[in-house]
Amino acid sequence: MKFFADTAKIEEIRELAATGLLDGVTTNPSLIHKSGRNFLEVVQEIAQLVPGPVSAEVVALDFDEMMREAEILRRIGGNIAIKVPLTPAGLKACKALTGEGTMVNVTLCFSAAQALLAAKAGATFISPFVGRHDDVAFDGMALIADIRLIYDNYDFPTEILVASVRHPMHVVEAARIGADVMTAPPKIIHQLFKHPLTDAGVASFLKDWQATGQKI
């Protein structure tokens, strides 16, 4: 499974990139707003820092404006994935952009039917939002399982990018189902390292080593 960071904060991305575990980055208007920086400047800096896909979202709602904004964004670099909403105009833009060789991340997916449409439109990535499903008492992981089954039935190359990840078990369950990618805030990725027995083991080994009086 590929790990993408869902953030627009450069220092968080740089720290994760240094681990060698980061495969890409996703951004959205809300994350850009939280960063307090210029959208294009942030995306350009991220694209230079991370060699993998960097999702940058259009904000237009009609096809022509989506294509105009996409043209500006894809000039930033070859690793930019244009992020479009799962709307008729968004899927029309997806078809046009992927036909030109541009990566497209279709976002705000909440049903298997929508995911099927995105795959038929040639999406590089489909982003189903599991956390937002859980918020309304729907099993987000059941949606991931349905999309995996449908895509495998027809050998769709579209990658399932699990989004709106709220906790480490979302990551584990997505991996069990066979999702291709997950994107999560850096704090969630860091939580994957944590286990009380690991912490206890490190403390025990360190105590015993200090008792030897030795140095390496």
Catalytic residues: 83
CA dihedral angle for residue 199, residue 203, residue 209, residue 215, rounded to 10 degrees: 70
Q: Say how many CA atoms lie within 13 Å of 9 toward its Cβ.
A: 11
Which helix H or strand E contains 159, and what residues bound it?
Answer: strand 159-162
**CA proximity to 82, closest of 56, 100, 61:** 56
Angle at which helices 88-99 and 112-120 pack, to 10 degrees?
30
* Integer Cα distance of 185 and 53 in angstroms: 16
Burial 175-211 (b: 16+ CB within 10 A, else e): eebebbbbbbbbebbeeeeeeeeeeeeeeeeeeeeee
